[in-house]
Structure 1
Amino acid sequence: MQAILIKNAQIVNEGTLFTGDVLIEGDRIAAVDENISVKSADTKVIDADGHYLLPGMIDDQVHFREPGLTHKATIETESKAAVAGGITSFIEMPNTVPQATTIKLLEEKFSRAKETSWANYSFMFGGTNDNLSEILKVDPTKVAGLKLFLGSSTGNMLVDNPDTLEEIFSKTNLLISAHCEDEATIRKNLSEAKAIHGDSIPIEMHPKIRSEEACYISSSKAVALAKKTGARLHVFHLSTKKETQLFDGKKPLKDKKITAEVCIHHLWFTEEDYATKGTKIKWNPAVKTAADRDGLWKALNENKIDVIATDHAPHTLEEKENNYVNAPSGGPLVQHALEALFEMKDRGRITAEKIVEKTAHNPAILFQIKDRGFIRKGYKADLVLINPNAPWTVKKDNIAYKCGWSPFEGTTFKNRITHTIVNGVIAYENGKYPNRTHGERLTFDRG
């Protein structure tokens, strides 16, 4: 494997930004210093003058649709789009067909990823009302965690039995990641909307149907249950300002038992965008008010929210163009997440150091991922270079997702990812894929 020397980069790592070099030998970072000399004639040298160098993003929530929904996406197509977006590792969700709710089905997904994934990978095991015995068989050193749908589930994955929930929270040693929306509230709101609009409910009703109340009821119950049982809880995709008050911004992440995530779409869009984007920005939980978006940014910068993710969940354009009731929720995001965040950096919302903390360092700490998420000697060489002065516009012909569309179509970003390195190999370089990388199964430093 060819050595790579990255020269003159603006290295963003562990709360600092400094000019320096990084040497990669094999699949590891061999040195980080102010000036590293070329030792071998066959070393590939990348002049990164003026570019940011970051640890690759670890996306803790994606839906790559394989198995069973591969007309929308596959592990191969979406992991390839992910490396174009600077995501070098991902954790995928269990609501595929069949659902990953047994050890056998989960390991089949790992086997498929080993064959086809461009990026490093792990998978969540799925909880149901009746698979506690399987949950207790999961080895926490080999699997990212347990996903519980406390709302907006597919198949039989809605875990709505209070006794079952408490038993799961009490007995599992897995990190529990939860989708929190109260189904009873949503059903009531939907029924009322249908009584007025029939099947012609306007998309602008989405944040009223999947309301602040629905989110807060569910999130607050999950947090209370975690405190009661001592479970390790990570609440996915916060979408409301009100929910942020449930979380602590003062403790170091390593000492937290209850953590939270926010997704790119809830940091970028507001309810005003439904008028132009329509069902392309229909997600669960819903994109809500500008005040909610501002509250999420504030909580993120105050460390009440610990992780930024994508919740990448592609559907075909034909599916998304259905009316509100029939259009599925979710959209593709992995290719554009980091560039959207750096755009928000330029607008004063967040610093480069905080982006790296929330997209790389914190997912590695929170999930106890071994040897990734930092630019450190001896760590895996998962790295991203971003040119901060290379404007480009998202168009059909430069979208990498299998579904072929993006909610960012027409958006011009000032910055552009130039290189993504996965395990010491250049997976993406200036719009091309020079090497067919094969991601590795993530490993975890857990007792």
Structure 2
Amino acid sequence: MNRILIKNAKIVNEGTIFEGDVYIEDKFIKEIAEKISPKTSDVKIVDAEGSYLIPGAIDDQVHFREPGLTHKGSIETESRAAVAGGVTSYIDQPNTVPNAVTQELLEDKYRRAAEVSYANYSFMMGGTNDNLEEVLKTDPKTVAGIKLFLGSSTGNMLVDDEAVLEKIFSSTKMLIATHCEDEATIRENLGKYKEEYGDDIPVKFHPEIRSTEACYISSSRAVALAKKTGARLHVFHVSTAKELDLFTNKIPLEDKKITAEVCIHHLWFTDADYDTKGALIKWNPAVKSAADRDALWKALLDDRIDVIATDHAPHTLEEKKNPYTSSPSGGPLVQHSVVAMFEAHHQKKISVEKIVEKMCHNPAKIFKIEKRGFIREGYYADLVIVNPGLPWNVKKENILAKCGWSPFEGVNFKSRIMQTFVNGQLVYNAGKVKDIRCGERLTFDR
């Protein structure tokens, strides 16, 4: 049996930080106490040396590119980057090739992850204009939710039939997660810039093309539809100040029917960064103004926004170098999300307790993930030790995403992931990922 005792940790859990030990037996947290002595001689001792012990982060939106796009990344390579970054569970999106829009194709992804994933996994079922019957077959206990693209993005899964949308919203009790950008607005904006620049539009105009208005029209429509039908709606990657009035902090998270997520890049970058980063920070929705970023931070801290995620979406550097209209949107972030938020903590923008709430507790609550996201006795031992004072620099040789680049390249982070445990197994230690692919399929209390 696997037995591990983590000693001398600053345990961060449910709004408190306390010094103590955690004893792991097999896959589970067996005991949490101020001092724990080894029960048997075969207990492996891991000394946290006063570093933070947090629940493993749960990234509710990633694109690990398998099947069909594995030149960009794969479940194996990207989950490896995830555990190196302190992410122990992820929810992958359906815009692969083929799109995960039938139960059979969805299960193919689960079978592959069971073979190769370093982290725990779930895969969203994709909704389209014509697969309602398949969507309604989705098992709420073993699948995270239904994903709808209300604006086109990588994979061309646009759902733009209003009658179909309303039918999906009114027919399923499952969580519906949406990518909200209005397609008509984007096309009109793109047409204007193509008229002037052809295909080689300067990337700085990306937030004018995929504009605030495009985001707001779509997200407000989704929220209105959720209110009308009673659907459980989770709005992915909110990127504008204007959208924030659509969400509330007046009721507890457990009672919210409409929740929201913000991504690392919208909290970190602004439109001023296009001059130096170019297409490397081209995402959908676009990185927007400093005022938008500030408003997102405010909404995150006052609980109108519930979750921090990455929208990890790798592309090759060669693809990114294409002219604007053929340069794909997205970038790799899963390895650096936790340390990026700890950097914000060093800048006094957010507390460590709040980081854990938004990256660990809340995703578990929103998706009703069973026995994960907290440091509790009887829960899975998905745990991460973070040293807040051991600086390091992001460079090509320590980037684990298959695409081999990061928008954080050259950044000095003050904090470092020291160890990552997945289902009680030490999978990342002292800068190295061990060849232990012990990720399990997430299950849901629904």
Normalised to the residue count of structure 1, the TM-score between the two structures is 0.99
Q: In the alignment, which residue of structure 2 is the partner of 1:288? A: 288
For residues 275-295 of structure 1, the C-alpha deviation after alignment (integer angstroms, 9 at most, x for no partner) is 110100000000000000000
Equivalent AA in structure 1 for residue 413 of structure 2: F
Report the Cα distance in structure 1 between the residues aligned to 2:350 and 2:83, rounded to whole angstroms: 23
Q: In the alignment, which residue of structure 1 is the partner of 2:264? A: 264
SS at match of 2:259: strand
Is there any run of 5+ residues in structure 2 with no aligned partner, and where?
none
- CA displacement at 1:209 relative to structure 2: 0.5
- Report percent identity of matched pairs: 68
Verify the 8 A CA contact 1:422 1:437 in the aligned structure 2: no
Equivalent AA in structure 2 for residue 338 of structure 1: V
SS at match of 1:185: helix
Matched, 1:299 2:299: yes
Report the Cα distance in structure 1 between the residues aligned to 2:36 and 2:356, rounded to whole angstroms: 23
Report the Cα distance in structure 2 between the residues aligned to 1:153 and 1:132, rounded to whole angstroms: 21
Report the Cα distance in structure 2 between the residues aligned to 1:46 and 1:139, rounded to whole angstroms: 39
Verify the 8 A CA contact 2:56 2:87 in the aligned structure 1: yes
1:314-393 mapped onto 2 (5 Å cutoff): 314-393=314-393
- CA displacement at 1:155 relative to structure 2: 4.8
Report the Cα distance in structure 2 between the residues aligned to 1:321 and 1:408, rounded to whole angstroms: 17
**Runs of 4+ more than 3 Å apart:** 153-156
Verify the 8 A CA contact 2:180 2:219 in the aligned structure 1: yes
SS at match of 1:54: strand
Verify the 8 A CA contact 1:94 1:101 in the aligned structure 2: yes
SS at match of 2:139: coil
For residues 166-194 of structure 1, the C-alpha deviation after alignment (integer angstroms, 9 at most, x for no partner) is 11101012100000000100011111111
Verify the 8 A CA contact 1:232 1:258 in the aligned structure 2: yes
SS at match of 2:218: helix
Verify the 8 A CA contact 2:96 2:155 in the aligned structure 1: no
- CA displacement at 1:221 relative to structure 2: 0.3
Verify the 8 A CA contact 2:151 2:183 in the aligned structure 1: yes
Q: In the alignment, which residue of structure 2 is the partner of 1:13? A: 13
- CA displacement at 1:326 relative to structure 2: 1.4
For residues 269-314 of structure 1, the C-alpha deviation after alignment (integer angstroms, 9 at most, x for no partner) is 0001111101000000000000000000000001000010000000
Q: In the alignment, which residue of structure 1 is the partner of 2:309? A: 309
Report the Cα distance in structure 2 between the residues aligned to 1:433 and 1:396, rounded to whole angstroms: 16
Q: In the alignment, which residue of structure 2 is the partner of 1:63? A: 63
Report the Cα distance in structure 2 between the residues aligned to 1:406 and 1:428, rounded to whole angstroms: 20
Equivalent AA in structure 2 for residue 228 of structure 1: K
Verify the 8 A CA contact 1:425 1:435 in the aligned structure 2: no
Q: In the alignment, which residue of structure 2 is the partner of 1:139? A: 139
Normalised to the residue count of structure 2, the TM-score between the two structures is 0.99
1:180-219 mapped onto 2 (5 Å cutoff): 180-219=180-219
Report the Cα distance in structure 1 between the residues aligned to 2:120 and 2:227, rounded to whole angstroms: 32
Report the Cα distance in structure 1 between the residues aligned to 2:225 and 2:281, rounded to whole angstroms: 31
User: CA-atom RMSD, angstroms?
Assistant: 0.9
1:393-412 mapped onto 2 (5 Å cutoff): 393-412=393-412
The more displaced of 390-399 and 133-142 is 133-142
Report the Cα distance in structure 2 between the residues aligned to 1:165 and 1:220, rounded to whole angstroms: 14
Q: In the alignment, which residue of structure 2 is the partner of 1:40? A: 40
- CA displacement at 1:432 relative to structure 2: 1.1
- CA displacement at 1:219 relative to structure 2: 0.3
1:145-294 mapped onto 2 (5 Å cutoff): 145-155=145-155, 157-294=157-294
Verify the 8 A CA contact 1:118 1:439 in the aligned structure 2: yes
Equivalent AA in structure 2 for residue 351 of structure 1: S
Is there any run of 5+ residues in structure 1 with no aligned partner, and where?
none
SS at match of 1:262: strand
Equivalent AA in structure 2 for residue 163 of structure 1: A
